[in-house]
Structure 1
Amino acid sequence: MVRTLLIRGMLVGVVAAVLTFVVAKVFGESQVGLAIAFESAHEAPGAVAEPEMVSRTVQSTIGLFTGLLAFGVAVGGLFSLVYAVAQGRLGALRARTTAGLVALAGFAGMYLLPNLKYPANPPAVGNPDTLGERTSLYFAAMLISLAVVVGGFVAARRLAPRFGSWDAALLALVGALVVIGLAYYALPAADETPEGFPADVLWRFRVDSLAIHATLWATVGLLFGALTERANRPAPVRTPGAAPVPALAAGEAPTASGGSPVATGA
């Protein structure tokens, strides 16, 4: 069962990666190009440009697709394992509803909540010397977010018998927001936007990043849920050797066991 879900999740991740690549190519790449142009225009005079190991053309095409494909397969596989644990533990929910909730939790924990503290930045934003520190801070925020999301689901389920489903969900949500707010207040800030960087490029890049991740998680949740619900649908039961019931013509009465029409008006 788990193996089937894992394979299904990885295949769904491939489809999600293809759709995500289209969104990234159409919307995100233009902002990356503008950020790189800003970086090139503001290089120090006389600075020697580092040789490119991979050309910009390769980065924006096959490189982008390969990275998204690997990420999509990883997300799909992880999603399927979490779904296997969650099914039946969130109440009497259909496969689509469970998959949707798991996808929403993954999107919130792995992208949305961490980006409230450390939003995505295009090239030329951020000091290369602090890249390792900023990466560690982002992963710390992501782990905290995932823990808060999982804790919120657990709290809502345990509070439901006492307060009801809606009130329990609201209480868990308020508690999660308080915890995430305190945690993000304690984490250090990382504001390294260079002076003069176009605000509209930064804003559009972050909006496009949100659209890219939303496309990935929405595709995984919706497609996985639809396929799983279809696979779980019971097959129609047929009696061996039973002949199909013929359709009756208009005004014709059902036949008796001997095959002759049953009189209705005579």
Structure 2
Amino acid sequence: MNSISVRALLVRGMLAGLAAGVLALVVAYFLGESRVDAAIALEEAHSHDHGGGEELVSRTLQSTAGLATGVLVFGVAIGGIAALVFCYALGRIGRFGPRATAALVAFGALLTVYVVPFLKYPANPPAIGNPDTIGQRTALFFLMVALSVLLAVAAVIVGRRLAPRLGNWNATIAASAGYVLAIALAYVFLPSFNEVGKDFPAGLLWEFRLATLAVQATLWTTFGLLFGYLTERLLVPKPGTATAGDGSASRAAAAAS
């Protein structure tokens, strides 16, 4: 793929990530912020030695401008990274067109970057967690993310090498089984944390975690659909112009090579 196509796809990936971030922001604000407020209120109600110091950043600013900045910057960043992954994956993971490849990249990112680490170290609202373990918990979460991504890449490589001997379907099953087994071993051997107090409402915890999952699902689903549409318009020639010249056709062929 030439540098012009990569640059064009990178721009489209960042734009798609921005648009996905906007929708994810709406979900985060309406589904997540009310649960955060409820958890903070619960924490303050059970805190008998609350210092009463002034907040460096007000809760209102955190839930509006702060939330928007974080989600939108994250959306643009992951859009750019996913676009680069798409550039490599197109034509190398099977005979999939741009839309299908974009959907697979988005689904794979949602699964490996968020869902798999989430199942081991789920998100917790502000009222949960020991401040003394926050550094360890953060490091282990990012370690789980790195392991999940690296193992997924290894599974794709193994699947491609097994395909000529086993066939695409059997190779995919074998590689996926290897990924699941390796993740299961990581789940077993990495430390776990159970810092949820007995007096914390289980319903609120469940709703908060579902809200965080909904934000990520919205982000990656929107990105996959929009980026697939944009890449198809860029790389696949229209039926009426397919015979007008070889430039568009060669561009799509170069993208898949």
Tell me whether the two structures share a fold, i.e. TM-score over 0.5: yes
1:19 is aligned, of 20, 23, 33, to 23
Specify the alignment match of 1:73 in structure 2.
76
1:64 is aligned, of 47, 64, 67, to 67
Q: Which consecutive segments of 4 or more residues in structure 1 shift more than 6 A?
A: none
2:146 is aligned, of 143, 146, 151, to 143
2:9 corresponds to 1:5: yes
| Distance across 1 between alignment mates of 2:244 and 2:137 | 62
Specify the alignment match of 1:249 in structure 2.
none
Specify the alignment match of 2:48 in structure 1.
44
| Distance across 1 between alignment mates of 2:53 and 2:135 | 20
The CA deviation at 1:195 is 2.8
The CA deviation at 1:233 is 2.2
Matches for 1:157-168 after TM superposition, within 5 Å? 157-168=160-171
Give the secondary structure class of the aligned counterpart of 1:234. Answer: coil
Partner deviation per Cα, 1:24-46 (whole Å, 9 max, x = no partner)? 1111111111111111101124x
- Larger deviation: 226-235 or 70-79? 226-235
What are the ranges of 5 or more consecutive residues in structure 2 without an aligned counterpart?
246-257
Which one scores higher on RCO, CA 8 angstroms, separation ≥ 6?
A: 2
Specify the alignment match of 1:89 in structure 2.
92
2:219 corresponds to 1:216: yes
2:136 is aligned, of 130, 133, 136, to 133
- Larger deviation: 153-162 or 89-98? 153-162
What are the ranges of 5 or more consecutive residues in structure 1 without an aligned counterpart?
240-266
Give the secondary structure class of the aligned counterpart of 1:72. Answer: helix
Partner deviation per Cα, 1:27-73 (whole Å, 9 max, x = no partner)? 1111111111111101124x312321111111111111111011001
| Distance across 2 between alignment mates of 1:21 and 1:192 | 28
The CA deviation at 1:238 is 4.5
Give the secondary structure class of the aligned counterpart of 1:11. Answer: helix
Specify the alignment match of 1:172 in structure 2.
175
1:30 is aligned, of 30, 34, 49, to 34
**1:238 and 1:167, CA in 2 relative to 1: closer, same or farther beyond 3 A?**
closer
2:193 is aligned, of 190, 195, 211, to 190
Partner deviation per Cα, 1:209-247 (whole Å, 9 max, x = no partner)? 1110011111111111111011112251459xxxxxxxx
2:226 corresponds to 1:226: no
| Distance across 2 between alignment mates of 1:49 and 1:113 | 38
- Larger deviation: 35-44 or 227-236? 227-236
Specify the alignment match of 2:249 in structure 1.
none
TM-score (norm 1): 0.86
Letter in 2 for 1:34: A
Percent of residue pairs bearing the same amino acid type: 51
| Distance across 1 between alignment mates of 2:158 and 2:228 | 24
The number of equivalent residue pairs is 238
| Distance across 2 between alignment mates of 1:50 and 1:160 | 62
Give the secondary structure class of the aligned counterpart of 2:55. Answer: coil
Superposed CA RMSD in Å reads: 1.3
Specify the alignment match of 2:56 in structure 1.
53
